[in-house]
Amino acid sequence: MSSSRFTAVTHTRYIDHAGLDAFCADYDGFLLDLWGVLIDGQEVFPGALAWLRRRATEGKPVWFLSNASRSVNEMADTLERLGVPRDLYCGITTSGQLAIDALTHEPELQRGGIHTVGVIDSLATWPGEIRERFCDDLNAAALILGVGSFPQDELEARFAPLRSATDKPFLCANPDRVVVSGGKTVFGAGRLAEAFAEEGGQVHWYGKPDPSAFRIAQRQLEARGAKHILFVGDSLVTDVPGALAARIDTLWLAATGIHRQALGVPFNGALDPERTNALLDGYPVRPHFAAPGLV
């Protein structure tokens, strides 16, 4: 079991670039978010890849936990295309795979058509028995499936049809509200699901910040001998609250992910504690630790 802190965090400890490896030496297993930590969707952050190689050399297991709508196999293929070999990590949990498992095994989700909203190019490797249920007609569908991400100026057009369908369950296979992809800030399907819930609809969330997603990955690391686990993520909305709820030590990366613009720092740039604390004060929970990025 990870020796995490069980009380609310009132003080965040800052780790600078020079002290990051010494800090990580206290842990024997790592649970990593992907977007904003290791990749931006189009390329791997070079320093993060070197960080992964150092952990592999030390024999410390790394498991990825992502809100991507992709299946685990597709996510592994994507990482390999980006230059992250499979021998640098021991496994992946994705929101897409969690949704696939629910649609496959939960009886109440196994019937009727599925209307997809968001960007569906991430669904090519989903099982055929699920994809054959996809239907364009929202009125004829039994379920709504939110996936992928989309430009921010498309929110209203994408959400408008859903206002008349709040009697149908919304399955969110990407709970991220905001994602940085290829250097651009876009909305994730979680933004549609959030608006759907505000209209009174029922949402099934798969992935972060649900602590069960963290515990699934945590058990995988523990099965590989890890006893002191660190979670690393970039979101104060999905990553940090979920890891804290799962009682896992939490390192927030502030200068490589979705909060970098709010802080006004260059990519992987040094953090100003006063400005960073001001940002953290605007959120319900704060991480145990903060660093610019993995270098």
Task: Please report, for the chain, the start and end positions of each structural domain, with discontinuous segments joined by +.
Answer: 13-67+208-291, 112-205
Residue segments in the chain with a per-residue pLDDT below the cut of 70 = 1-7, 120-122
Beta bridge partners of 231: 31, 250
Which fold, 13-67+208-291? Answer: Rossmann fold (3.40.50)
Comparing C-alpha atoms, which of 25, 14, 27, 31 is closest to residue 289? 14
- pLDDT tens-place string over residues 232-285: 999 999 999 999 999 999 999 999 999 999 999 999 999 999 999 999 999 999
Closest CA to 236 of 294, 277, 295: 277
CATH number of 112-205: 3.40.50.1000
- Model pLDDT, residue 49: 95
Predicted pLDDT at 295: 86
Is the Cα torsion angle 32, 83, 127, 144 positive or negative in sign?
positive
pLDDT score of 165? 97
Residue 3: its pLDDT value, please? 42
Angle at 179 between CA 177 and CA 183, to 5 degrees: 155
Question: What's the rounded Cα separation, in Å, for the pair 95 and 147?
Answer: 9
What is the structure's pLDDT at 100? 97
pLDDT of residue 180: 77
> What pLDDT is recorded for position 5?
47
pLDDT of 265 reads 95
What separation in angstroms does the CA of 244 have from each of 238, 249, 264, 266? Answer: 10, 7, 26, 27
112-205 and 13-67+208-291 share a CATH fold: yes
